[in-house]
Structure 1
Amino acid sequence: MPPSPLAGEGARRADEGYSSPKHRKVSGLLRGRARSMRHEPTEAEQRLWSLLRSRRFSGFKFRRQFPVDHYIADFVCLDARLIIEADGSQHAESTRDLTRDTYLHALNFRLLRLWNNDILARPDDVSETIWATLHEKPQ
Structure 2
Amino acid sequence: GVPDSGSTVRGLARLLRRNPTDAERLLWQALTRDRRFAGQFKRQTPVGRHIPDFVSFPHRIAIELVNPGEGETIAADRASRRTWLEARDYRVMEIRAADVERDLEAELVRLQRMIAETA
- TM-score of the superposition, structure 1-length normalised? 0.73
The amino acid across from 2:85 in the alignment is L
The amino acid across from 2:91 in the alignment is R
- Structure with a larger share of its residues in helix: 2
Alignment match of 1:74 (pick from 53, 59, 77): 53
Deviation per residue, 1:48-97 (Å, 9 max, x gap): 00111157225551000010111101100100000011111316892332
Identity %: 28
Aligned residue number for residue 35 of structure 1: 14
Q: Check whether the contact 1:91–1:97 (CA below 8 A) recurs between aligned residues.
A: no
Aligned residue number for residue 83 of structure 1: 62
Aligned residue number for residue 108 of structure 2: 127
Aligned residue number for residue 52 of structure 1: 31
Runs (4 or more) in structure 1 with deviation over 3 Å come to none
Aligned residue number for residue 90 of structure 2: 109
The amino acid across from 2:77 in the alignment is R
Between structure 1 and structure 2, the one with the greater Rg is 1
- TM-score of the superposition, structure 2-length normalised? 0.85
User: What 5-or-longer segments of structure 1 have no aligned partner?
Assistant: 1-24
Provide the aligned C-alpha RMSD in A.
2.3
User: What 5-or-longer segments of structure 2 have no aligned partner?
Assistant: none
